[in-house]
Structure 1
Amino acid sequence: MSVIGWVIYIIAIVAMFYFIGIKPSQKERKKQEALLASVAVGDTVLTTSGFYGVIIDMTDDTVIVEFGNNKNCRIPMQKAAIAQLEKPTMAVKSDDKK
């Protein structure tokens, strides 16, 4: 192979790594950042540990989540521990469209 062939081969390998490895993780990170920015008090969340709860208080990087029907089960945790978000208004809007 000539030098030009090797250069094209290396560029193709780097492009493949970018589009298979780096680009999807950047997209997922932006999606998670948008999710954490939209969190509000009263939202039902799923934590990374698998627990469902309701946010009752927030600061910049921490939230206090109430788990279950027991009002004494309130745990402070980092915002980054939120995996999914269920807004009460979104459920009502999706039911109206059906």
Structure 2
Amino acid sequence: MNQLVFLADAAATGGAMSWTWMIGYIIVIGGIFYFMAIRPQKKQQKQMNALISSLEIGDSVLTTSGFYGVVIDVMDDVIIVEFGNNKNCRIPMKKSAVVEVEKPGSEENK
């Protein structure tokens, strides 16, 4: 009889321990997921917002479609970009279509 009571007590505490271990694992996996997926994405989004807000007339831009152009006009959500040597090729596009911005005075040495 004593052995049955002892086994019942062990099973009861073992069940409680498994719940705490399971909650601990969930918290650890959630923390890993946050630091590997959510945090870098938020950081990249902040960089893109800063890039888009710094657009000015005369900046050279690279669009998501792979075209290089020069910003001619900047409005709230739309920019007008001039592509190529043809001065008549001006296309309005959303600011979110810009991937890279190069300021006119900043030359990169490669």
When the two structures are superposed, what TM-score results if normalisation uses the length of structure 2?
0.80
Runs of 4+ displaced beyond 6 Å? none
The within-5 A match list for 1:1-98 is 2-91=18-107
The higher radius of gyration belongs to 2
Specify every segment of 5 or more residues in structure 2 that has no aligned partner in the other structure, as ranges. 1-16
Cα distance in 2, alignment partners of residues 63 and 80 from structure 1: 10
Let me know the Cα RMSD of the aligned residues: 1.2
5+ long unaligned stretches in structure 1: none
**Aligned residue pairs: how many?**
93
Identity of aligned residues (%): 55
Whole-angstrom distance in 1 between the partners of 2:106 and 2:20:
55
SS of alignment partner, residue 36 of structure 1: helix
Contact 2:61 2:71 in 1 (8 A): yes
Tell me the equivalent position of 2:12. Answer: none
| Aligned counterparts of 1:18 and 1:36: Cα–Cα separation in 2 | 26
- How many Å separate the matches in 2 of 1:35 and 1:4? 45
Normalising by structure 1, we get a TM-score of: 0.89
